[in-house]
Structure 1
């Protein structure tokens, strides 16, 4: 499979994971940021992932934004970013379920940390 196809599949998993949701698991919260400045920087980096603008970005750019966010995210959500980025980098169909859970966790964390960002499906899943 080509790298471009793998990235497309990865983004599809991110979107599907967010849309499907994973219930009953406590993820990291926006309060896990050490200070408001770091949270604001994280949200500025995440802003291109909002549904209103994400369709204008290429898959490669989305992957880089997720990698940048991983570096800025608090420890409580690092495992989810790592699992998602590892899946993008080393696509393995056996890891798809874990990638879906990680993509939902990442999307949920972004939306709950950055109230102006709508990844899709998260706030609706909160009911």
Structure 2
């Protein structure tokens, strides 16, 4: 009985360390990206997505902006950019809930890297 409690405790500790390590790694990658020269170009490219300018964008242009941003973004968020682009390319195909979550994560990433940009409904 005591061994199973110790084993369970060790498993929980290992999971916690893994999750914490992932979050720390993700945050440090994001911070490194924010401090890199690439972030300025990224933010310039993302500027048309700002809530104050978004009315000027048609869906085709928005899709191209997100495509360009996805190429510039760090690897840890590129899957979300890809999923969102797939949804734009074929609305109604694929997992809509996953596309919505990716849309939110993309917006959140943009707002954290580019604090002057307000995507709307996110405020990271």
Residues 32 and 76 in structure 1, CA contact (< 8 A), matched pair in contact too: no
TM-score, normalised with respect to structure 1: 0.70
- Are 2:42 and 1:42 aligned? yes
Residues 43 and 114 in structure 1, CA contact (< 8 A), matched pair in contact too: yes
The structure-2 alpha-carbon separation of the partners of 1:32 and 1:82, relative to structure 1 and needing over 3 Å to count, comes to farther
Moved segments of 4+, more than 4 Å:
none
Residues 87 and 94 in structure 2, CA contact (< 8 A), matched pair in contact too: no
Gaps of 5+ in 1: 1-25
| More RCO (CA 8 Å, sep 6+) | 1
TM-score, normalised with respect to structure 2: 0.72
RMSD between aligned alpha carbons?
1.8
Tell which structure's C-alpha radius of gyration is larger: 2
Residues 87 and 93 in structure 2, CA contact (< 8 A), matched pair in contact too: no
Take 2:45 and 2:75, find their aligned partners in 1: how far apart are those partners? 17
Gaps of 5+ in 2: 1-22
More helix as a share of residues: 2
